[in-house]
Structure 1
Amino acid sequence: MTVTIYDVAREAGVSMATVSRVVNNNPNVKPQTRKKVFEAIERLGYRPNAVARGLASKKTTTVGVVIPDISNMNLAEIARGIEDIATMYHYNIILCNADKKKDKEIRVINTLLEKQVDGLLFMGGTVTDEHIQAFKTSSVPIVLCATTDDNNTIPAVDIDHQQAAYDAVKLLVDSGHRKIGMISGTLQDPSLGFARYQGYKQALEESAIPFNENYVRVGNYKYESGIEAMKYFLALEDRPTAVFAATDEMAIGAIHAIQDAGLKVPEDISVISVDNSRMASMVRPQLTTVAQPMYDIGAVSMRLLTKLMNKETTDQTKYVLPHTVIERQTVGQV
């Protein structure tokens, strides 16, 4: 049978109120009494009822996290940052994978809110009007993590994706490349895919390089789409001398397609991307990429959420973290 607070009180020879004070770390308990209660808890294997405590305090010390793709290594690193800060501030995490499906994301958001979480982190997905509507029904704080909404109305932590893409393409331009292709993410994703596409176009325009529609292929952020896009570029009569991929995974697909065609990176074609996932240093040659501070994005998001949950004063509710160009071996001079 389930051990109750009444059983602990009887075992320790104290009142239920005293057991409650011990469990909730109330300082107004004598050390000897506290010791007796803890010994009774250990003997009986008592576990406080989190649901009951949540009803009494109107807090569950639980945070819901919606993640679009749990297999994505970048998002896993962000989740580590979230978890570490949550642990520091004594919050538990409920992590829900949404498979990059909007309907599932909305359903998960509503389910977490029904579970009476104290706050919600929405990680790395496209924020649509349907998401905004679901967020409006929330009575608890919500922070966007590695994404933003179009109107910047919801607290958010991310990098400047357009600037990151611009910096990547500018490195190619500064290396002498004029024929630069792009393997883009979905352009229906304003905060990531479209933003990086805009950064690509901005770098070309400022370098007086004409935009060529044949040099842009839309992928799905995955390795296989990088292979397919690169095969398309290789088949062009006037193929690019360099390719900017919107993610490391697509860039690695592009590198392998180049190598499978009997060509070399960067001697024949240069490749650069954004992310700096672990795979970037595992592939050969090692991938030149723009590093997102994945762990920091998660940590800062969770810290911001703790402030909002505890109604602390915050200087700002939108944080744009710095990115860094990591030069390795896949960009060559022309």
Structure 2
Amino acid sequence: MATMKDIAKQAGVSTSTVSHVINQTRYVSDDIAKRVNLAAKQLNYAPSALARSLKMNRTKTLGMLVTTSTNPFFGEVVKGVERSCYQQGYNLILCNTEGDEERMRASIDTLLQKRVDGLMLMCTTLECKQVMDFERYPDVPVVVMDWGPIVEVSDKILDNSYQGGVMATQYLIDCGHKHIGCITGPLSQHQALNRFQGYQAAMQQAGLPINDDWVVESTFECEGGHEAMQTLLSRATRPTALFVSNDMMAMGAINAAAEHRIAIPHDISIIGYDDISIAQFMTPPLTTIHQPKYRLGKAAVEAVLARLKAMDAAPQLIKLEPTLIERCSVKILA
């Protein structure tokens, strides 16, 4: 592998001159710069990322911890993170926690050993809180993304889940529904709880009663939605509409309804949450609440880089607002 000394010898200049040209640390005449760059190209010279990171005390690498899930939501957010890293000249190391505390500890140790410039967390609240001691990493900015723990010492990029829950339920009410149920995610997680609280607030504001038989807590996965719908259909009465707290559960719920020959939206209307890419291809196409997944990833990268420039700045909370996507899974009664 060619070195700066090899380039200096071929270009007929000093090693320090080569360093200034490669690193753009001092003015060098155009003629000399051309000779150095030509020699570097002829010798297939590649700058040492390790040497540069040691000199600058920056690796131009960010780490991300994410909960493993079949939910495409996570992949769409990671896409935003990866593209933003690339645009900013950074590399990304992605670690799946597998929902396992020991694996998460090992992933954090690995990322710190790799000397990442910053960390982004997108893993479930309990999982992160049990493992992360945020005070231990004062020199490594930590940004908590949606699906992360609520802590006071880090920047947070969150979806306004409460408002999304209100918006979804209000849409069903505006469509004339008065008998509205809800399939929630695990209420120990702040997204699930906030969306459920939004449902409760919209129902209360409209003066509509909440039937406890029509509220089922589930898992945020397709299987959970399927099981929750089976439970609802086993009850003495059923609602005319359901707010399902994410699109994966909505997919499972629609499948369970089909098994019972219950048509969506003719017999039961369903609105989901997330607007994952496949929501538009469900049968029927799913009315849902759109989360700005790409912007969530982009905002997380921007927050880490901003924190690197101002480590002493107060932690910030950035909320991304949801929007309603109307498709064909909700029947208009009024």
Q: Normalised by the size of structure 1, how large is the TM-score?
A: 0.90
- RMSD of aligned alpha carbons: 2.3
**Partner residue of 1:311?**
310
Contact 1:248 1:277 in 2 (8 A): yes
**Partner residue of 2:114?**
115
Question: SS state of the match for residue 92, structure 2?
Answer: strand
Q: Identity, % of aligned pairs?
A: 33
**Partner residue of 1:245?**
244
Residue 290 to residue 314, structure 1, CA distance change in 2 (3 Å): farther
Question: SS state of the match for residue 106, structure 2?
Answer: helix
Q: Indicate yes or no: 2:172 matched with 1:172.
A: yes
Distance (Å, rounded) in 2 between the aligned partners of 1:102 and 1:207: 43
Shift of 1:296: 0.9
Shift of 1:180: 2.1
**Partner residue of 1:297?**
296
Question: SS state of the match for residue 45, structure 1?
Answer: coil
Shift of 1:202: 2.2
Contact 1:142 1:155 in 2 (8 A): yes
**Partner residue of 2:283?**
284
Deviates more, 1:195-204 or 1:318-327: 195-204
Question: SS state of the match for residue 208, structure 1?
Answer: coil
Contact 1:64 1:93 in 2 (8 A): yes
Residue 57 to residue 299, structure 1, CA distance change in 2 (3 Å): same
Residue 153 to residue 315, structure 1, CA distance change in 2 (3 Å): closer
C-alpha deviations, 1:235-289, integer Å up to 9, x for none? 2221222111111111011112212221211110000111011111011211110
What are structure 2's unaligned runs of at least 5 residues?
none
Shift of 1:155: 0.5
**Partner residue of 2:189?**
189
What are structure 1's unaligned runs of at least 5 residues?
none
Distance (Å, rounded) in 2 between the aligned partners of 1:33 and 1:204: 73
Question: SS state of the match for residue 252, structure 2?
Answer: helix
Q: Normalised by the size of structure 2, how large is the TM-score?
A: 0.90
Distance (Å, rounded) in 1 between the aligned partners of 2:218 and 2:288: 18
Residue type of the alignment partner of 2:322: H
Distance (Å, rounded) in 1 between the aligned partners of 2:197 and 2:14: 66
Shift of 1:313: 9.5
Residue 90 to residue 167, structure 1, CA distance change in 2 (3 Å): same
- Aligned residues between the structures: 332
Distance (Å, rounded) in 2 between the aligned partners of 1:222 and 1:272: 16
* 1:1-334 equivalent positions in 2, closer than 5 A: 2-69=1-68, 72-126=71-125, 128-134=128-134, 136-147=136-147, 149-190=149-190, 192-311=191-310, 317-334=316-333
Shift of 1:30: 2.0
Residue type of the alignment partner of 2:60: T
Distance (Å, rounded) in 2 between the aligned partners of 1:289 and 1:152: 31
Deviates more, 1:251-260 or 1:150-159: 150-159
Residue type of the alignment partner of 2:178: R
* Runs of 4+ displaced beyond 4 Å: 312-316
Distance (Å, rounded) in 2 between the aligned partners of 1:202 and 1:151: 25
Contact 1:307 1:314 in 2 (8 A): no
